[in-house]
């Protein structure tokens, strides 16, 4: 399944027993010898919520949260009849997320995810800095210096506003920023080009997966960073290579809401 081109292999753990998911994530994600994906998502039961999601990056590392994956989980659960609810609670490593499903003719096409409140305190992102908040802080990555704004949406992000995002050598600079010593848990990187106060174009480098077509938490981080830098309104469309995501940072409850598509690509079996 994919959300805005951010694709994962999903395993229904109500039907399948998944051992060693870290190793399976590496196999499944291989675009030449496996299924081909940005990572692996396990759909599971939960003791505290309606359902639970675990996700693994393409390198086998477990991640806290992905907004695009969460939307696809909601679609799968509704489309397969595991739930008839259109409002779900989903347990993730980044906490409980609320999903609002929008079915059409019995199939979910769009989902809104309550992504929670953004985390801005440097210590909690986490990012090593002398400042309490990292907002447009210039860092030398040798070669090249960039102004970073750091936000956690359940996982850490470094957002860089620039012009000409299409020309960025993302595999080079994205990898260097991801592994920089100022990020103790590594970091996701977004290069964003503001087109208007309500629209921004972005590219994403996901830790453990590389460049992806989209990133839900990354889109949210871009909006929050844009507001903090007085570049964006509190509601905007984030245009990514795989599609568009609608993001709102609500001023009243301080929560970020992500809305976008969820698409089933194919179902099948793989030997493991």
The span from the CA of 23 to the CA of 26, in Å, is 5
Instruction: Give me the catalytic one of 72, 150, 215, 220.
Output: 215
Q: Which residues touch 62 (CB under 8 Å, ≥6 apart)?
A: 21, 22, 54, 55, 56, 93
The span from the CA of 28 to the CA of 153, in Å, is 26
Which residue shows structure tokens 């599971």?
Answer: 44
Residue 39 token pair: 């990572």
The span from the CA of 2 to the CA of 71, in Å, is 9
Tell me whether residue 72 is one of the annotated catalytic residues. Answer: no
Instruction: Give me the catalytic one of 13, 66, 72, 150.
Output: 66
How many H-runs (helices) and E-runs (strands) does the chain carry?
Answer: 4, 18
Which residue shows structure tokens 């409002």?
Answer: 87
Active site residues: 66, 215
């Amino acid at each position: 399944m994919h959300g805005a081109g951010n694709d994962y292999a999903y395993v229904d753990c109500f039907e399948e027993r998944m051992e060693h998911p870290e190793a399976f994530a590496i196999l499944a994600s291989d675009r030449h010898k496996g299924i081909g994906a940005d990572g692996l998502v396990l759909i599971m039961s939960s003791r505290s919520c309606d359902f639970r999601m675990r996700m693994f990056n393409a390198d086998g590392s477990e991640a806290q949260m992905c907004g695009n994956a969460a939307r696809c989980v909601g679609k799968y659960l509704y489309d397969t009849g595991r739930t008839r609810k259109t409002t779900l609670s989903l347990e993730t490593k980044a906490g409980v997320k609320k999903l609002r499903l929008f079915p059409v003719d019995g199939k979910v096409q769009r989902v809104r995810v309550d992504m929670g409140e953004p985390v801005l305190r440097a210590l909690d992102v986490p990012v090593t800095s002398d400042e309490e908040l990292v907002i447009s802080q210039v860092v030398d990555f040798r070669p090249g210096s960039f102004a970073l704004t750091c936000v956690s949406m359940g996982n850490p992000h470094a957002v860089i506003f620039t012009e000409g995002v299409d020309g960025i050598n993302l595999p080079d600079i994205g990898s260097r920023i991801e592994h920089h010593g100022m990020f103790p848990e590594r970091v996701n990187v977004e290069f964003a080009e503001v087109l208007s106060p309500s629209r921004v174009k972005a590219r994403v480098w996901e830790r453990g997966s590389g460049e992806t077509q989209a990133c839900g938490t990354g889109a949210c981080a871009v909006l929050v960073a844009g507001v903090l830098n007085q570049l964006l309104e509190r509601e905007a469309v984030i245009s990514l290579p795989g599609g568009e995501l609608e993001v709102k940072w609500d001023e009243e409850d301080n929560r970020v809401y992500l809305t976008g598509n969820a698409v089933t690509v194919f179902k099948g079996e793989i030997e493991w």
